[in-house]
Chains A and B, each alone.
Chain A
Amino acid sequence: MSRPEPTRGLLDVLEVLEVLDPGVLATVQDGGRPGLGALGVARGGAADPASLAVANLLVGNDAGSAGVEVTFTATFRAIRTVTLGLAGADLGAVIPDTGEAVAPGASVTLAAGATLQLRGPAGPRPGEPGAPRGCRAYLAVPGGVAVPEVLGSRATDLRGGFGGRPLQRGDRLAGPGTRLVRPPARWTGPTPRPRGVIQVLPGPHAGDIGDDAIAALASAAWTVGAASDRTGLRLEGPAVPGLAAGELASLGVLPGTIQVPPDLRPIVLLADCQPTGGYPVIAVVATVDRPALGQLAPGDRVTFRVVTQREARAAAAREREAFADAVAHLREAASWDDLWHGAGG
């Protein structure tokens, strides 16, 4: 499947979406900048990359194309008629003009001038304790959001201060300008849901800290702290055993790494985490549950379940297989649609 090159030239780029309200944080994100750790550059990209992938696939994009990551709420206006892919948390998306509710995991075509409002997750307000409802939704435009590529990615690096800045009211997002309207599509695969139970494997320092460390992590009920952001989730709960300060050489870390800082309250690293850290690593989140970390918000309750390498790998394989099946299903539907149009239907 070929994809138009979003930055080929100004004439090929058309403004498609205006930001009417960015909410607390809306940024352009893609698959991030893996492999630049030796420059000190964070991997970054979508906090929930699986949901970004679904949003992109719904409009025929590559999974890692640039889309908009919305946190809790946001409102956009279509500058011209455009099909959007929506995925991730259910942030109560509606088209106020028609009253149409848009569930995540589907594409939606907005008529020129129409608005799409994400009103926020239903249930208790953010910051109040409860089961995770999800906090991030992803909007994809056909061909991907056309912003300049920096260090091989269109992701906004908030800590590094490059690759753009948080979206502001009045910002106008461009797409490549070809085939802006796509056939309706619905995601039938596994939906990365907000999860209250996160599967972890013992980290490289679990043994150094002591046998009780991983048990302390797994037996406590944690609350996601207010200081959490795209860099990491700060967990509130009982102190877990750690190592004395200064005992550890800095080491590489990745999203999903769980560190124990000197205050003995674990930190789960997310997409924007730095490539190296200096705190002991008590556990690492299984790959299958990492996208769900990006849906945890302050006030959410979370527990950890220790799994084996074999269990983690089997779960990852199942998830990837189901994902691949759903991608094939989407592509099949899209190719039938192309045939239909080609035949003049």
Chain B
Amino acid sequence: MASPVIVPFGDDAVLVDLREPPGLRSARRARMLAGALQALRTGMPGLGEPIAAAANVLLPFDALLLDPERVTALVEPLLLVLPADPGPTPGAREHRIEVAYGGEAGPDLVTVAAETGLAPDEVVALHASVEYEVLFLGFAPGFAYLGELPDALRVARLATPRVRVPAGSVAIAGGATAAYPQASPGGWRLLGATSTRLFDPGAVEPALLRPGDLVRFVPV
């Protein structure tokens, strides 16, 4: 495994690239690092909110109070003590999300089955057989990247993204699966749909799924 690097991201952020294959472990490490950086913010004026993603953390800062060298010096000691695998997140919640697979709501189920050499009901069974972890949120409000997807279900995203993916669509792409909280353009392969509300901007906790939470899809 290559060692992490810290590179400038413009004049007011650095990117901490863990330089490991994106997956469950890399996301957990990124999340733990972001948590440690978040805890440093109170004593370090100018340090912004860290954004943890697949295998990296973006750390913005006020360019007039800090510079990439000082921020790098802040991050380096944390990388030295970052565990190889932090394990499950304490306090993670468990969610069961009901999914109607196939049909109009899952227009890609048949092509995914053809590409993976599985029958459509085998695709469904496999997709619903795993307890996924929320790796990170991104792309859209409440959009949780869930991993890891079973290797047998790894397919490429659509060459040409759909202009409109309906809200609630449950989809896969690469090593991840997700449910679309809102209607949006999207290139993931749609297996089905859920009626669970995934994002409510007026709620105390707007996003149903938080980083580290565990998710199981239940066919209905």
Mark contacts of A27-57 with chain B using CB atoms, 8 A cut-off: 1 yes-contact digit, 0 otherwise: 0000000110111111000000000000000
List residues 108-161 of chain A with CB under 8 A from any CB of chain B.
Answer: 150-151, 157, 159-161
Of A161, A249, A252, A285, most buried by chain B (CB within 10 Å of CB) is: A252
Known contacts A39-B137, A287-B63, A317-B64, A204 near B22 by CB under 8 Å: no
Q: How many residues belonging to A are interface residues under a CB distance threshold of 8 Å?
A: 43
Please determine whether A160 and B182 come into contact, CB atoms closer than 8 angstroms. yes
- Selected contact of A160 from candidates B9, B57, B201, B202, CB within 8 Å: B201
Please determine whether B58 and A253 come into contact, CB atoms closer than 8 angstroms. yes
List the A side residues contacting B17 at CB < 8 Å.
Answer: 204, 251
Please determine whether A39 and B141 come into contact, CB atoms closer than 8 angstroms. yes
A35-B37 Cα distance, complex, nearest whole Å = 13
Please determine whether B141 and A313 come into contact, CB atoms closer than 8 angstroms. no
Q: B49 an interface residue at 8 Å Cβ cutoff? A: yes
How far apart are A47's CB and chain B's nearest CB, in angstroms? 18
Known contacts A159-B184, A251-B56, A313 near B202 by CB under 8 Å: no
How far apart are B55's CB and chain A's nearest CB, in angstroms? 4
List the B side residues contacting A320 at CB < 8 Å.
Answer: 64
Please determine whether A249 and B56 come into contact, CB atoms closer than 8 angstroms. yes
Q: A284 an interface residue at 8 Å Cβ cutoff? A: yes
Q: B211 an interface residue at 8 Å Cβ cutoff? A: yes
Residue of B nearest to A315 (CB): B11
Please determine whether A40 and B137 come into contact, CB atoms closer than 8 angstroms. yes
Please determine whether B11 and A287 come into contact, CB atoms closer than 8 angstroms. yes
List the B side residues contacting A246 at CB < 8 Å.
Answer: 156, 174
A39-B204 Cα distance, complex, nearest whole Å = 12
Q: A299 an interface residue at 8 Å Cβ cutoff? A: no
A122-B201 Cα distance, complex, nearest whole Å = 40
Q: A163 an interface residue at 8 Å Cβ cutoff? A: yes
- Selected contact of B138 from candidates A40, A203, A313, CB within 8 Å: A40
Q: B24 an interface residue at 8 Å Cβ cutoff? A: no
List residues 1-49 of chain B with CB under 8 A from any CB of chain A.
Answer: 7-13, 15, 17, 21-22, 26, 34, 48-49
List residues 291-317 of chain A with CB under 8 A from any CB of chain B.
Answer: 309, 312-313, 316-317
A342-B121 Cα distance, complex, nearest whole Å = 79
Known contacts A246-B174, A254-B60, A287-B12, A39 near B139 by CB under 8 Å: no
Please determine whether B51 and A38 come into contact, CB atoms closer than 8 angstroms. yes
Residue of B nearest to A163 (CB): B201
Please determine whether B138 and A275 come into contact, CB atoms closer than 8 angstroms. yes
List the B side residues contacting A285 at CB < 8 Å.
Answer: 10
- Selected contact of B53 from candidates A163, A251, A281, A313, CB within 8 Å: A251
Chain B positions within 8 Å of A, measured between CB atoms, are 7-13, 15, 17, 21-22, 26, 34, 48-49, 51-58, 60, 63-64, 67-68, 136-145, 156, 174, 181-182, 184, 199, 201-202, 206-207, 211
Chain A positions within 8 Å of B, measured between CB atoms, are 34-35, 37-42, 150-151, 157, 159-163, 201, 203-204, 246, 249-254, 256-257, 274-277, 281, 284-287, 309, 312-313, 316-317, 320
Some 8 contacts from A to B, beta carbons below 8 A apart, are: A37-B137, A40-B143, A204-B7, A251-B58, A252-B58, A254-B13, A276-B136, A309-B67
